Structure 1
Amino acid sequence: MSGWAPPPLPARWSAPARPAFVGRWAELATFEEVWPAVLAGSRQVVFVGGEPGAGKSRLLAEVATTLHRHGAAVLVGTCAAEFGPPYQPFGEALAALLGARTEAGHDERLSTLAGRGSPEDGDGPSHEYRRALYDAAVDAFCDVAARQPLVLALEDLHWAGPSSLQLLAHLVERTADCPILVLGTHRTTAPDRSAGLVRAIAQLYRLDGVRRLDLAGLAAEDIAQYLVQEGHLSPLAARSAATVLRDQTGGNPFFLRELWRDHSARGGALLAGQQAPASVRDTILGRLERLPLPARQTVELAAVVGEDVDVATVLAAAEWSRETTLAGLDEAVAFGLLEPVPPSDDVLRFPHALCRQAVLDLMPASRRLQQHAGVARAVESTIPASERRTQQLAFHYAQAQALGHAAEAVRHLTEAARSAARSLAHEDAAGWFEQAAALSDDDGERSRLVLSAAGSHLLAGDFARARALADRVAAGTGLPAERLAAAVAYEDASWRPGLPGHRAVHLLENALAGIDADPADPGYVRGLASLGRAMAFTGATGEAGALGRRAVDLAREHGDDELLAHALQASLWNGLRPEDAPDKFARAEELSRLADRTGALGHLGPAAYYRGVISYLQGEPVSLAQAHDDLVRMARATGQTFFDYMAGCMSYARQFSAGDFAAAHRTCGVLQDLGTSFGSDDTEGPCAVQSYMIRRESGTVGQVRALITGDESPEEHWAPGLLALYTELELPGPAARLLRWLLDGRLARYEDSAQWPCVLVYAVEAALFLEDAPAAQALHPMMAEYAGTNLVAGQFVAVFGSADRYLGALDSLLDGPADEELAAALEMDSRMGSPLHQAHTLVAQVLHGRRTGSDIRVLDDVAGQARRLAEPLGLRRVLRLLGGAVPGIPAPRRPGGLTARETEVLRLLGEGLLNRQIAERLVISENTAANHVRSILAKTGSGNRTQAAMFAAAHGLLE
């Protein structure tokens, strides 16, 4: 940073026309608290909100100017209301930092963010991921702050686009220990209130050092001070007038200034009973009507040009002579409609955006169209080629398209969109591509623009909008190659949020039918690969796997890394049963090597995810950790929200397995927030399962008991989840009813879904809770398919540890050998380093030992091991399943340490039922009923069934 000096403060902040600054004592006191924290090395953020004209920009200028006098570097940026650059308001600030660093690529990235590239240069610098751009901006700002405290003043953030807000969030999140003060102004009232900014502020507000200030109207004493300083009234006259003006303006500083200006024009005194104009529009109308026609039309032209008015552009576009136009500008300044921006006379400025908007609102629509066309021609003739020039032309020609300028609008909108795409401002690019498509009258061009918009929406993470646009092209009557590309894009926007693949299959099959089945055609191979993945998401995993393998083989023959990467990626999602794992892992590793070789980190995400899933499935904790690291690295490097989400799911699974429920709960919150960024493709379902898994292990599911009737319709809920809830709440009747409903041919519908392991576990747990031998017999072969592996559902939505634990528990219930399976499960859970799953396997061993009459001392030792794992981590479910008191949970009415099932059997004993009758009543085997009776006699100290019945009566179990 040697030799670099901060730019001067904006000239408008010291312009003679700048009004006096009064009041705002509470707000200034806040900044007196904030600035020492900045000097101590802590980043601070203050969002200043309020209605239009509330004095936000004036407060920002006052604070920034004061801090500048105290040695701070001040960088300023503003947002444009119409067609602003993608990364406004950072462009001006970052342009000032060009050349301050010598690292390779640094200035190139800053130039991209500052919009300094040439839109005609289609082969210009392009960065694959915007995280690198954002990091370059953060580094540049931190370099300045390392030399002197930095104030970054950002005005009118309500007009900032998604890319700007993402850069703002990135900057705030990564500068916690830098002496930087970020000041941002924004409107808080409709129609300018920005939902995107509101969300961004809400997310950032959770960070240390982030504050919000909402400006109220000035008090009467502040207005009196203003009148003394600005109107040179005596203090007595000012106090009297201030009350009137406070009532008329609500204390809005802009309204106050404009009303006082009008009063001054009428002689400089307030007239008793005089009414304020109803709106700014009425105020501006009054002034425009006092102007001669040339001056009025000149002001209207200036409003069309923009809030900052380039005089050269006005002269080039004006209908009047140069002299008449300049005179008109002078008259506008005299009437307070425009203000000079020193030090030159080349630029004028409207006193406030409200003034400019009022002028535009008062113009006839036909005249606005003509003026936009004239300004566009003037911009073409007077301004050199630049990204900003392209954006201006796109806006003005689009506004004038009704006059026959649609072709020019399409051309410049497309150029602006491509420039935004090169800058990785995907949201801006998508919007401009869509706008261009809407104005195009050429079917082929329109289809290509719509498809480009879909691609940008996909990169921005708005999968729903990407699908809608791709569907429009794929289902249309365009060229076969375009329809296939659109169908591929549709599928690409479908698998990421995990949607069923039926629509994608339909579009791809139709598109592939319209072209030659030519293996030498890369488009055909790409379509086959996408079709395979789409079929996997319909449940047709066998056919999907065959298509995936064929697409990979064909892609290898092409020798095209990008095509091979697409085929490998698509083939990974074609179902994951244990027998598929080795081949899938090999493909995932090949894709990882391909990503490393080509530097295309986008391929590393799916590869790392599947390496992680398969590593967990096969019980390889080291490989799982490596895959997690790669996925986190890829997500951080690319800034792609979807892979942030996937990395978070893997983090959640590792935290959950370790019994760190606090961390897992925090990760769930992050995942829910990330899920909201996927448009209408929310992640509410997976997040609900993740949250439920935490709640049931920590013993808080019972809080919803009052909401559960037991009569819920399985058709209106996710039936497996409802079954899990019944099981956890120990509702045997509803659980038995729902388990039978699922086993009556309905369980098969879930077998080809990514959530199948979760569905299977919930069904097995219900069968074990109910001790339902027929159900256990039906479920055993399904679980046996996972023998020797771990169970993981979906994108790490739920992890259950070793499948052998469930197999052993089923075999125990069915009076089969279970010791070897449970020992294998404990070895697997220990190898994975999961105290949660180890504890559950130890519980399964204890329950099996009780059922089979094992040595009580051995069982007590195993139970002790489980408790030693469970108690420090708060594994209340483990403790409940072991029996006995659970900290923080009232003890159930189960005397003698009886389990829920044993309590139920004891009640039936008290009714005089025999083992056979008990077995029939509870739908369990007679041998299982006999085992329960033996356990009950031992736990209650009863010598026979009669004494056990007396024990039940004494403890109120027969009521």
Structure 2
Amino acid sequence: MSGWAPPPLPARWASPARPAFVGRWSELAAFEEVWAAVLAGSRQVVFVGGEPGAGKSRLLAEVATTLHRHGAAVLVGTCAAEFGPPYQPFGEPLGALLGARPEAGLDDRLATLAGRGSPEDGDGPSHEYRRALYDAAVDAVCDVAAGRPLVLALEDLHWAGPSALQLLAHLVERTADCPLLLLGTHRTTAPDRSAGLVRTIAQLYRLDGVRRLDLAGLAAEDIAQYLVQEGHLSPYAARGAATVLRDQTGGNPFFLRELWRDHAAHGGRDLTVRQAPASVRDTILGRLERLPLPARQTVELAAVVGEDVDVATVLAASEWSRETTLAGLDEAVAFGLLEPVPPSDDVLRFPHALCRQAVLDLLPASRRLQQHAGVARAVESTIPASERRTQRLAFHYAQAQALGHAAEAVRYLTEAARSAARGLAHEDAAGWFEQAAALSEDDAGRGDLVLSAAGSHLLAGDFARARVLAERVATGSAEPGRRLAAAVAYEDASWRPGLPGHRAVELLEDALAGIAPDPADPHYVRGLASLGRALAFTGATVEADVLGRRAVDLARQHGDDDLLAHALQAGLWNGLRPEDAPDKFARAGELARLADRTGTLAHLGPAAYYRGVISYLQGEPDALAQAHDDLVRMARATGQTFFEYMAGCMSYARQFSAGDFAAAHRTCGELQDLGTSFGSDDTEGPCAVQSYMIRRESGTVGQVRGLITGDERPEEHWAPGLLALYTELELPGPAARLLAWLLDGRLARYEDSAQWPCVLIYAVEAALFLEDDAAARALRPRMAEYAGTNLVAGQFVAVFGSADRYLGALDSLLGGPAEEELAAALAMDTRMGSALHQAHTLAAQAVHARRSGAGAAVLDDLTGRARRLAEPLGLRRVLRLLGGTAPPVPAPRSPGGLTSRETEVLQLLGEGLLNREIADRLVISENTAANHVRSILAKTGSGNRTQAAMFAAAHGLLE
């Protein structure tokens, strides 16, 4: 980017009205350290938090201006409080990079993120995927930073939407070796504190070079310095006034400034004899009341326009004459309610968002409606078409809809939503479609908007919200075609998180009954395909398979690639027993070829996943690796969280099979983070199984022994998992009782679930542990169905290696020959390259050899081979099964950068203690305990106390 020149710093940073900068010595020292790391080539991130008015933006401006004087390029972006662009605050920084790099397609992607496209442009990047957009931003930023250190200053991140936060995370995660300083300001107090930003910061906080600075109030000496510089007091007078002001403002810099300004306007009387205003709102009210009516109404109109007030819009919307309006703006500037933004006089700005909000709070509701309508008309008549114009019109007309502007609001909200959808900002699109639907007075149009919102929620990964909206249309629409489309959408949002399909079946059957069963109707065929998949998720796999095959045949006759892809995808989920594998593999291959032919990567996800599952079942490691690569490629290109989650599960399975538990554990953490994006369809259950599989192989399950009584009620837990825990903890009584409970007609309820192989293995392992011949005989026919294959549960939630190992172990227990089965298992495990499963099969061979009276040489050979695999990998479970002494579990350490006190608190969290109980145990205040818990959640990336307890167990912190 040799020809690129950075834009100038924001004019407001050079405004004469900018107050003096005082204090913040520790924060500035921290920034010196941070900048040294940037100059050394390391990306650094600082999130500056605090209450409104705490001086976050002032500190950011001071740091960025200083670094700019030292040669850094500075790009600045801000977030709007109301109806901001989807990718705010990245619009301004990325817009400044347009045209800077001559690469095909890069500017188009940057323009999409910067919101520079036309809202009527139907040729937007709908064929693109988020990852391509986000990577374009990363490439552009890194290119700039390669030439000179770069500061990316992002203000008011608490107003950033989900799409912007995803882009933020992507940028931070992929610029580790880039000389970049990313500064972000955000409010940490209600009601502006953003839960989405809190999660994002917690996710990023674990990365190197990411830190937080929360600003406290200014100290009395800092306030005294301010009064000397700004109020021209003597140092002696300033020290006396500073103490009073510190008490009255809590050290809040903005409130300090406004209080001092108000004090000066009253003649500078002694602060100790004057009652301070209770809030910024009271301060602003006092000034508004001193303005004449035209000036006050002009300020109110300016507040409705926005924080940055373009004078032309105010003039066009004002009820007063041009001269009166301009005079009112001048008076507002004189009273400190507005500030000029040099170098032109075309734009004014409120000194702080708090000022503008105070004016809005004081504005009567009826007048606010009229002002919004006037601003909307002014924007419509004076501003050229652009995405930002559409968003402003959508906001103002929506605010004025009670005055009869609902139709205009729906029109512009819909345009804004479609523009966001073209820009792949699915979360923003979903919200705006919903808002448009709520204002629509047309039943048919409302239903279509709700379905559009459901589709955007689906693409964003919020399956729960997509189901709610789709069900609303499926049960409430009078139009049969729309009801069927809604039922299909509901089913599409049900199978992804693996929910039972009963409700989807009801909706689809009801919708299909309302239309003619016409095979020539593509909507009918699509409905049949979805119904087949829904039936599969109820356990009716035979009926589902018949329906799925019919849908595929009918789709072929239509010659519609998209319809055929839907039918093929739906048909893949209709059961996966070993006898289904060849047909499913062929169908997945056809879907993959269809994806290549059409260039639609979305089809590649299900195809790659099923090719991977079947390749694992059939023991084909090369095909598994190829399918995994395809799934990762699809997930990265599309940015669809669901397929990223599935690719992560496949990564976990391969890492686990290889005995790389450190990598598998890291992947588990990533999967937990991804799972939080699925709305209320959390993935805590699958992640718990994945973590358990790691812990039992590495010998750390015993650390939860104190939480298990053996008297747990199976109805209140996932009974197979509880059985596995009893088995692993070697509790024969509870294990025998629960195994008998399951075998008493209850095991069959799990047979049609995706988790059946896991359930079956846990039952078999219990039978082997208990040496229960009757249970072994009952389970063997079920296990025999999988002879010659590997066993995998769910979406690679758990992998167990060769089924023949378990068949051989059962036959050995029952006194039959097991050598052939165990030899086949070892061959399979070796072909798959799984050191873990090879070690387990060798251990099973050693157990059989011992049971069948083999010689010492045979036993020593098998045991030695198993140990040579197990000891380097720390396979303590295998070593225990061999009958020897496993190496000790490493002493607990403090992972995640936790302090020693935080580690103590985390251990107590793992015991299930509440904050009050933790405080009592450690002799600290409950508030201090709560602060420690919040810090622990952020450092460990845990979304709740349960996940933090799981983190503690996984890191060996529970005794």
Q: Does the Cα contact within 8 Å between 1:127 and 1:424 map onto a contact in 2?
A: no
Tell whether 2:612 aligns with 1:620.
Answer: no
Determine the structure 2 residue equivalent to 1:203.
203
Residue 709 of structure 1: how far off its partner (Å): 2.3
Q: Secondary structure at the match of 2:48?
A: strand
Code of the aligned partner of 1:130: R
Q: Does the Cα contact within 8 Å between 1:447 and 1:478 map onto a contact in 2?
A: no
Code of the aligned partner of 1:702: G
Determine the structure 2 residue equivalent to 1:231.
231
Q: Secondary structure at the match of 2:116?
A: coil
Q: TM-score, normalised by structure 2?
A: 0.92
Determine the structure 2 residue equivalent to 1:894.
none
Q: Secondary structure at the match of 2:476?
A: coil
Alpha-carbon distance in 2 for matches of 1:833, 1:65:
56
Determine the structure 2 residue equivalent to 1:47.
47
Determine the structure 1 residue equivalent to 2:916.
none
Alpha-carbon distance in 1 for matches of 2:842, 2:127:
52
Q: Identity percentage over the alignment? A: 89
Q: CA-to-partner distance for each residue in 1:558-615, whole Å, 9 max, x for gaps? A: 1111111111111111110111101111111111111122111111111111111101
Q: CA-to-partner distance for each residue in 1:494-532, whole Å, 9 max, x for gaps? A: 111100000001111111111111111111111111111
Q: Does the Cα contact within 8 Å between 2:447 and 2:477 map onto a contact in 1?
A: no
Q: Does the Cα contact within 8 Å between 1:74 and 1:153 map onto a contact in 2?
A: yes
Determine the structure 1 residue equivalent to 2:546.
546
Alpha-carbon distance in 1 for matches of 2:24, 2:358:
27
Q: CA-to-partner distance for each residue in 1:626-648, whole Å, 9 max, x for gaps? A: 11111111111111111111111
Q: CA-to-partner distance for each residue in 1:746-795, whole Å, 9 max, x for gaps? A: 11111111111111111111111222222211111111111100011100
Code of the aligned partner of 1:777: R
Determine the structure 1 residue equivalent to 2:25.
25
Alpha-carbon distance in 2 for matches of 1:436, 1:314:
27
Determine the structure 1 residue equivalent to 2:34.
34
Residues 101-110 or 461-470, more deviating: 101-110
Residue 735 of structure 1: how far off its partner (Å): 1.7
Alpha-carbon distance in 1 for matches of 2:703, 2:242:
58
Q: CA-to-partner distance for each residue in 1:437-462, whole Å, 9 max, x for gaps? A: 11111111110010000000000000
Q: Does the Cα contact within 8 Å between 2:383 and 2:389 map onto a contact in 1?
A: yes
After the TM superposition, which residues 251-262 of structure 1 pair with which residues of structure 2 at under 5 Å, given as runs? 251-262=251-262
Alpha-carbon distance in 1 for matches of 2:271, 2:491:
70
Residues 407-416 or 769-778, more deviating: 769-778
Residue 708 of structure 1: how far off its partner (Å): 2.2
After the TM superposition, which residues 781-930 of structure 1 pair with which residues of structure 2 at under 5 Å, given as runs? 781-888=781-888
Tell whether 2:461 aligns with 1:461.
Answer: yes
Task: Give the alignment's Cα RMSD to 1 decimal.
Answer: 1.2
Determine the structure 2 residue equivalent to 1:757.
757
Alpha-carbon distance in 2 for matches of 1:664, 1:50:
37
Q: Secondary structure at the match of 2:272?
A: coil
Determine the structure 2 residue equivalent to 1:934.
none
Q: Does the Cα contact within 8 Å between 1:380 and 1:393 map onto a contact in 2?
A: yes
Determine the structure 2 residue equivalent to 1:896.
none
Residue 139 of structure 1: how far off its partner (Å): 1.0
Q: Does the Cα contact within 8 Å between 1:338 and 1:348 map onto a contact in 2?
A: yes
Residue 110 of structure 1: how far off its partner (Å): 1.0
Alpha-carbon distance in 2 for matches of 1:191, 1:707:
38
Residue 856 of structure 1: how far off its partner (Å): 2.3
Determine the structure 1 residue equivalent to 2:145.
145
Residue 120 of structure 1: how far off its partner (Å): 2.0
Alpha-carbon distance in 2 for matches of 1:35, 1:881:
54
Alpha-carbon distance in 2 for matches of 1:805, 1:272:
85
Residues 72-81 or 259-268, more deviating: 259-268
Determine the structure 2 residue equivalent to 1:86.
86
Alpha-carbon distance in 2 for matches of 1:620, 1:826:
15
Q: Does the Cα contact within 8 Å between 2:619 and 2:831 map onto a contact in 1?
A: yes
Q: CA-to-partner distance for each residue in 1:353-379, whole Å, 9 max, x for gaps? A: 000000000011100011111111111
Determine the structure 1 residue equivalent to 2:775.
775
After the TM superposition, which residues 354-503 of structure 1 pair with which residues of structure 2 at under 5 Å, given as runs? 354-503=354-503
Code of the aligned partner of 1:761: I
Q: Which has the higher contact order (CA 8 A, sep 6+)?
A: 2
Residue 3 of structure 1: how far off its partner (Å): 2.3
Q: Does the Cα contact within 8 Å between 2:244 and 2:272 map onto a contact in 1?
A: no
Q: CA-to-partner distance for each residue in 1:294-326, whole Å, 9 max, x for gaps? A: 000000000000000010110111011111000
Residue 269 of structure 1: how far off its partner (Å): 4.5
Tell whether 2:109 aligns with 1:109.
Answer: yes
Q: Does the Cα contact within 8 Å between 1:467 and 1:490 map onto a contact in 2?
A: yes
Q: Secondary structure at the match of 1:413?
A: helix
Q: Does the Cα contact within 8 Å between 1:129 and 1:639 map onto a contact in 2?
A: yes
After the TM superposition, which residues 148-187 of structure 1 pair with which residues of structure 2 at under 5 Å, given as runs? 148-187=148-187
Alpha-carbon distance in 2 for matches of 1:10, 1:269:
36
Determine the structure 2 residue equivalent to 1:893.
none
Q: Does the Cα contact within 8 Å between 2:700 and 2:889 map onto a contact in 1?
A: no
Determine the structure 2 residue equivalent to 1:310.
310
Larger Rg: 1
Alpha-carbon distance in 1 for matches of 2:88, 2:530:
37
Determine the structure 2 residue equivalent to 1:221.
221
For structure 2, the residue ranges without an aligned partner over 5 or more in a row are: 891-959
Residue 2 of structure 1: how far off its partner (Å): 3.3
Alpha-carbon distance in 1 for matches of 2:462, 2:126:
22
Tell whether 2:675 aligns with 1:710.
Answer: no
Q: Secondary structure at the match of 1:800?
A: strand
Tell whether 2:320 aligns with 1:320.
Answer: yes
Code of the aligned partner of 1:525: V
Q: Secondary structure at the match of 2:885?
A: coil
Determine the structure 2 residue equivalent to 1:721.
721
Residues 123-132 or 770-779, more deviating: 123-132
Determine the structure 2 residue equivalent to 1:943.
none
Tell whether 2:60 aligns with 1:60.
Answer: yes
Residue 272 of structure 1: how far off its partner (Å): 3.4
After the TM superposition, which residues 1-20 of structure 1 pair with which residues of structure 2 at under 5 Å, given as runs? 1-20=1-20
Q: Secondary structure at the match of 1:677?
A: coil
Determine the structure 2 residue equivalent to 1:908.
none
Q: TM-score, normalised by structure 1?
A: 0.92
Q: CA-to-partner distance for each residue in 1:462-492, whole Å, 9 max, x for gaps? A: 0000000001001113311111111111111
Tell whether 2:744 aligns with 1:744.
Answer: yes
Determine the structure 2 residue equivalent to 1:911.
none
Q: Does the Cα contact within 8 Å between 2:161 and 2:428 map onto a contact in 1?
A: yes
Alpha-carbon distance in 1 for matches of 2:230, 2:335:
17
Determine the structure 2 residue equivalent to 1:510.
510
Determine the structure 2 residue equivalent to 1:639.
639
Code of the aligned partner of 1:95: G
Residue 128 of structure 1: how far off its partner (Å): 3.0
Code of the aligned partner of 1:300: E
Residues 156-165 or 772-781, more deviating: 772-781
Q: Does the Cα contact within 8 Å between 2:379 and 2:393 map onto a contact in 1?
A: yes
Alpha-carbon distance in 2 for matches of 1:352, 1:319:
26
Code of the aligned partner of 1:577: R
Task: Flag the 1:780–1:47 CA change in 2: closer, same or farther, 3 A.
Answer: same
Q: How many residues align?
A: 890
Code of the aligned partner of 2:841: T
Q: CA-to-partner distance for each residue in 1:795-833, whole Å, 9 max, x for gaps? A: 011111111111111111222221111111111111111
Residue 889 of structure 1: how far off its partner (Å): 7.0
Q: CA-to-partner distance for each residue in 1:702-755, whole Å, 9 max, x for gaps? A: 222232222222211111111111222222222222222211211111111111
Alpha-carbon distance in 2 for matches of 1:271, 1:198:
39
Q: Does the Cα contact within 8 Å between 2:2 and 2:147 map onto a contact in 1?
A: no
Alpha-carbon distance in 2 for matches of 1:225, 1:708:
61
Q: CA-to-partner distance for each residue in 1:169-220, whole Å, 9 max, x for gaps? A: 1111111111111111111111111111111111111111111111111111
After the TM superposition, which residues 241-256 of structure 1 pair with which residues of structure 2 at under 5 Å, given as runs? 241-256=241-256
Code of the aligned partner of 1:277: P
